[in-house]
Chains A and B, each alone.
Chain A
Amino acid sequence: MENKNKMRLTFDSLSQNESFARSVVSCFALQLNPSISEISDIKTAVSEAVTNAIVHGYSQGLGEIILECEIDGNKLHINIIDNGIGIENVDQALEPFFTTREEDERSGMGFTIMKSFMDEVKIDSKKGLGTKVYMTKVIKTDS
């Protein structure tokens, strides 16, 4: 049977919404009957992308973050979109431990974690226009 479903949510770039965002995605993902480990991976990756949008994308002021999820078969696609300042050099941002905010004790591991914990990660960023993070998790446990 075709397994398709989607949701879309917009929320303010406030750090208290990180917990909200990862909880919403994990609840939505439950219909794929994921393992505890898969849910943990998804929550962590969502938290990383939302943190980036808040801390970096909207470093100059409050903005809106769009969270989209789509289930397609056993795949969960998650898009996290901001209209913030964008990433100047995406290749550099993807390097482990690279951070532009070391003075804030940023680890620079956000994208490394997203890439390790998800099956696919794509970043589309334009300076001054914002950043879109597309992630996919293949749920391997059978529902």
Chain B
Amino acid sequence: MEIKYKNYGRSLIVYFYGELDEYSASETKNIVDRLIEDNLNSDKVVFDLSGVTFMDSTGIGLLIGRYKKVRRFNIPIYIQGASVATEKVIEIAGIYKIMPKI
């Protein structure tokens, strides 16, 4: 999995590319956490999942984990661009209730 990011004003956009599963989760988590820690002045974080080609429940754990982390700093997280297959996994866990779709 590859992670890229951009800052638009005070928004941090994190782009996920590739397969998000048990094999890739640990490294992905560390990279995203470091990005968030380096951008704590952001007023929102957007996870762009349009490049995700596969995601299972390990991805749900990763998303919920980031939500819990960022919540401490009062920064909302949004999700955009999930494919039909990724969205099916996201919706079964109710992720959009805590990280709204934009």
Contacts and interface: CB of A to CB of B under 8 A. Distances in A.
Contacts of A116: 92
Contacts of A91: none
Contacts of A18: 21-23
Interface residues of B, number: 21
B3 interface: no
B57 to A, nearest CB: 4
Given A105-B62, A105-B64, A44 B22 contact: no
- The main secondary structure of chain B at its interface with chain A is helix
Interface residues of A, number: 27
A37 interface: yes
A51 B22 contact: yes
Contacts of A47: 21, 54, 56
B62 to A, nearest CB: 6
A107 interface: yes
B93 interface: yes
Interface in A99-128: 104-110, 112-113, 116-117
